[in-house]
Structures are given as C-alpha cells and as structure tokens.
Amino acid sequence: MDSVNRIINFVFPPLALYGLFVFYPIYQRLKSAVSIWRNVLSENVAGKVVLITGAASGIGEALAYEYGKKGAYLALVDIRDEPLFHVAALAELYGSPEVIPMVADVSKLHDCKRFIQATVLHFGRLDHLVTNAGVAPLYLFEDIDDLSKAMPAMDINFWGSVYCTFFASSYLKKSRGKIVVIASGCGYIASPRLSFYCASKAAVIAFYETLRSEFGSKVGVTIVAPGVVDSEMTQGKFMTKNGQFIVDKELRDQVQISLLPVESAERCAKAILRSVCRGDRYLLEPAWISCVILWKVFCSEVTDSLGRWLVMG
C-alpha cells in the first residue's frame, strides 16, 4: 500500500491541478447561471414557520425582524426573558403574523426538545431552523485554571446547534425546510485568545457540511460565516476563564475588534435572508472575509504571524 500511495502522490497532484484549471471556468459559469435561476425562484417565507435561537440580541434579533417583515411565523428562543419578549413584540409590529417567545438554554438537551416540540405543536410545522445562540470565551489557553469552565463554549456553540437539529430534522424533512447555521469567520481563521470559540465554530462548520451530504436534497443547509458584526461581542461582552460573563471594552480591544470595520446586524441579517431564500450553501458576510480565508489557505504562515502580532503584540 505504501508503494501505491507513493505513485498516487506523484501522479495525482499534477492531474488534480490540471483538472482544476480546465474545470473551474466551466464550473463558475454553471454556478453563475444557477445563481441567477435561484434569484428568480427565491423562496417566499411569508407564512413559513421559523425558529431562531439566540434571538434576544445581535444577528438573531435582526433576523427575527427581517423574517417578521417578510410575514413569517416566528418561534424565538433565548436564555434571557426580558429582552426576548421585547424582540418578540417588535417582530410582530414589523409584520410577523404571530410570534411565540420561549425562554430556554440550548446547552440543555431537554430544553431543545421542549421548544422544538412546542413550536410544531403550536404552528403545526417547522420550515426554517436558525441556530444562532453562542458565547465567546476570551482568554489565553495558558491562563486557564479550571478547564471545565471552558465547556460552555462547546455546550452552547456546538451542542446547542446539534441538539436543536436532532429534534427538528424530522419536521424539516417533512416541509423540505432549511437549516441556517450561524457559524463565524473564526471557524476558518484562527484568532489568539479565542481558541475555544474558534474551535467550536470550526466544529459547527464541519458538522453541518457533513450533515448536508447526509440530508441531500431533503433539507437545505446554509452555513453563514460572519465577520465582525454589531453585537454584544463587539460591544465587549465575553466569557472569562472563570465562566463568568462580563462587559469589558478594554478586553475587547485586546483582540483588535475595535480596529476592524463593524457591519450592522441589520445589514448582515438582510444578506443572510437573501442567501437562505436563494438556497445558497455558504455565505461569507461581509464578502471580504473570503479574501482572508484565501490567504489562510495559501499563506497560512503570514496570517498566523499577523494574527499573533495584532493580538499578542
């Protein structure tokens, strides 16, 4: 088998490169044609049932308003009750026929089962699942005293999405619905002090890419990788090494968030909804994030060194 691998190592790279150069222009033309067709046949979400986690602020809140303006029925989930009820009331004012807010913790399996079933019991169906709830731990790995305090990053960011998807998948298959995965550009690009956040978002991306292959055409999956979007995180809200949530703008500036262009949550939500209705597989928002990922793929030493210089000094 070693000799076979040696032969493949010698033959396959030039063939793959040649095939890419030949196929890629054709692929791009076909992709452009399909994109135009998808724009023409963009999904109308009026009357559809949409469940959004992490709906009390940031991208989740903005998506609730955008779906509401389009006439979708909404089930909004967050762990914080007061801001959630405020968002629900505004979403109805923006045009949603009916909104049900549900206070729950996505890191708990039974909570996810409860609000998925409550949504279907109330509305009779589920068309879009938006997995948006997340936290951002911010500290150096070497500064951790108790590793168990880092667990919420995976429990909320990764398992919180998986739990919802597990209980919602059968209903989404019936409606030939969609899963909207709010990942992060950090899932592709390493950022010092955000090791657990980057790892959780990378896991989310890998999981839903695999799930897309398993579901095929039964359920659409749109993976969204936002850059720096106006949210509680850009305002300095992070989870410390002790597992506590604090708002600290000086801590925020340690990861250079204040130096990057911040996109409004409203603009990001509009782009996400357009992409989802077109049936896109991926969305990088804003689009310049794709250039950074390209550098990461082909010049990883440069992006790693730049990230360390910016954050670690």
DSSP-assigned beta bridge partners for residue 245 = 239
Beta strands 282-285 and 99-103, pairing class: unpaired
| Contact (CB, 8 A) for 265 and 231 | yes
Question: What string of DSSP letters covers 119-150?
Answer: HHHHHS---EEEE-----B-S-GGG-S-GGGG
Active site residue 197: yes
**Contact indicator for 268, 229 with CB cutoff of 8 Å:** yes
Catalytic residue selected from 67, 73, 163, 197: 197
3-class state of residue 247 by DSSP? strand
Contact call for residues 115 and 49 (beta carbons, < 8 A):
no
Rounded-to-10 torsion of CA 282, 283, 289, 294: 20
Please tell me whether the peptide bond between 286 and the residue prior to it is cis, using omega within 30 degrees of 0.
yes
Rounded to whole angstroms, how far apart are CA atoms 294 and 48? 36
Question: Whose structure tokens read 């670690």?
Answer: 312
Q: Which residues participate in catalysis according to the annotation?
A: 197
